[in-house]
Structure 1
Amino acid sequence: MSSIRLFILSSFADLGPMHGHRLRQEAERKRVPFWTDIPVGAVYGAMNRLATEGLLREAGREQEGNRPTRQLYEITDEGRRVLTDLRRDGLTEIWFKYDPFDLALTRTDPAKLDELPTLLADRLARMKALLEERRGMIEQAMPFIGVAEEWAVRHTERRMEAEVEYLADLVAALPDLIADELNPRPRKEKP
């Protein structure tokens, strides 16, 4: 599933022919980087790739005032078919990516266990600050986004809230974790 492909193809399907600069402005207007993993500057290269794949095609040229002539693109029939699949996949596929934090937690240096409470308290504080920053951004964005976009930004907010709750629980469990690392309890062998 490619977020940038979904954004670009759906923008062309919804808005019709346009040039890359207008698409970039649309991404900024919709605050796309705020609720997905698309860097606004990446739209030009992605548009070129989609055109090479036959999902977009040149639809003419446009010139505004003294500005350089800009190439207009439009979505192709194949692009619409791919867009249908991307929309469905985006709603139905579950994306889960392991966090390197978990591996680092299970591979803690026994000689540095005394640093763990400080490291995790700092991580929790930074996560709380990030969540508060996110909440402020959401409130500023609310007048400019639709209901679906609001649910998208709230999804990220809830994931961040879950991370804060998890880290708070982990910090509370640190005495048991450290004791187990220093003196591991017996573990069953896998048959």
Structure 2
Amino acid sequence: MHGHQLRLQAEQEHVHFWTDVSVGGLYGAIKRLAAEGLLAPVRTEREGSFPERQVYGITDAGRAALDASRRHAQDEIVLRPDPFDLALTRVDPDRVDELPATVRRRRAELERLLAESADHRRRADPWLSVAEKHALSHREHRLRAEISWHDTLIEALPDIVEDEEAGARHALTGRPSSG
């Protein structure tokens, strides 16, 4: 398959929603993989008046690397820390009153991302395998979990704001607050 063909397929299958592969980065990735000996030129094709296109094939070293990468991805659980958690636990005392609006905006953005993801999945669905459909729906499940967590956070916001304000008062006076 040549790079343009791969890019079209990646766009059609919306791979950027269920992988960390950027469709725009495919050409650079092909060149890097070829430079590393993981892909090798097989032939050059030309359709009509279009420019010549280099068709690549995977090498034995590429198959071994792909197998190792696939095994690692299947065995590894990835739950990256969310920078929001650090920001939540280190709220600016002068802006603690903004926290409820910030959290509600985040939740609304998650709802928007969920709707967008579901729409993309529906449009890509005819071109996806059963496994690809599950991989793509994984994003929606994760977004729903984030929305649910934000709902519990919103319920806890009055206590969080009160606690942060009490901590700020304590820092100013050196005494625990009575309130």
Which secondary structure does the structure 1 equivalent of 2:56 belong to? strand
CA separation of 1:75 and 1:24: change in aligned 2, threshold 3 A = same
Q: Among the aligned pairs, what percent are the same residue?
A: 48
CA distances 1:50-89 after superposition (whole Å, capped 9, x unpaired): 1111101111211111122222211111111111111111
Q: TM-score, normalised by structure 1?
A: 0.82
Letter in 1 for 2:68: D
From 42, 63, 66, the counterpart of 2:25:
42
Aligned partners of 2:41 and 2:124: how far apart in 1?
Answer: 33
Q: Does 1:28 align with 2:33?
A: no
Q: Does 1:142 align with 2:125?
A: yes
What are the ranges of 5 or more consecutive residues in structure 1 without an aligned counterpart? 1-17, 185-191
From 162, 165, 171, the counterpart of 2:154:
171
CA separation of 1:29 and 1:138: change in aligned 2, threshold 3 A = closer
CA separation of 1:166 and 1:178: change in aligned 2, threshold 3 A = same
Residue 126 of structure 1: aligned partner:
109
What are the ranges of 5 or more consecutive residues in structure 2 without an aligned counterpart? 168-179
Letter in 1 for 2:83: P
Q: Does 1:60 align with 2:48?
A: no
Which secondary structure does the structure 2 equivalent of 1:108 belong to? coil
Residue 14 of structure 1: aligned partner:
none
What's the Cα RMSD here?
A: 1.4
Aligned partners of 1:112 and 1:24: how far apart in 2?
Answer: 45
> More deviation in 50-59 or 61-70?
61-70
Q: Does 1:79 align with 2:53?
A: no
Query: How many equivalent pairs are there?
Result: 167
CA distances 1:143-180 after superposition (whole Å, capped 9, x unpaired): 22121011111111110001000111101101111121
> More deviation in 103-112 or 30-39?
30-39
Letter in 2 for 1:59: V
